Amino acid sequence: MNNTQSLTAARQVDPAPPAWPKLLYNVNMPPKLAYSLDQVAAMGDSWRAFDLAPFFPGVPGVTIEPESESFPAGGGNATVTVTINSAGQSGTWTVDKDATADWITVTAPIAPQSEDGEVRYTVAPNTSGASRTGNLYINGKTHTVTQAEVGG
């Protein structure tokens, strides 16, 4: 299979787990990164996926705890515990977040980590009114952050 595939093909059951991340592109929209089949499926069939995994050294598998956190409208702080459970070529884990989640600030770590550790982040007060959701990505694992609506 080549690196470019339709999203329908990306959703088909494959005996080998898919490699992540994938770059999703559509002629009429800016590209987006996807870290799971759910994110790929949510984009619709007009998008195409380009497998970026061959361009990155093998990263170690990790487990994260917790996988989600909820905050009141006033915001707050939280940590995610990261445990390395397989070596990978690079031996490091990193954290990233949704580009649109400017209300989430990762305070540590800033650089790639080679040992088990914690991701520390801050959620700003919600002044937008509606509840909101954003994600942190740690070596292919997703930590979902939700925040209550103002007055909720």
Q: What is the pLDDT of residues 100-142, one digit of tens each?
A: 999 999 999 988 898 999 999 999 999 988 999 999 999 888 9
Query: What's the pLDDT at 60?
Result: 76
Please state, in angstroms and rounded to a whole number, the distance separating the CA atoms of residues 30 and 49: 13
In the chain, the amino acid numbered 123 is V
Residue 6 has pLDDT above 60, yes or no: no
- The β-bridge relationship of strands 68-71 and 141-147 is parallel
List of residues 6+ apart from 81 with CB closer than 8 A: 64, 65, 116, 117, 118
Q: Which tokens is 14 given?
A: 């494959």
Q: Residue 132 CB: number of other CB atoms within 10 A?
A: 19
Q: Which tokens is 121 given?
A: 């982040």
Contact 123, 103 (CB under 8 A): yes
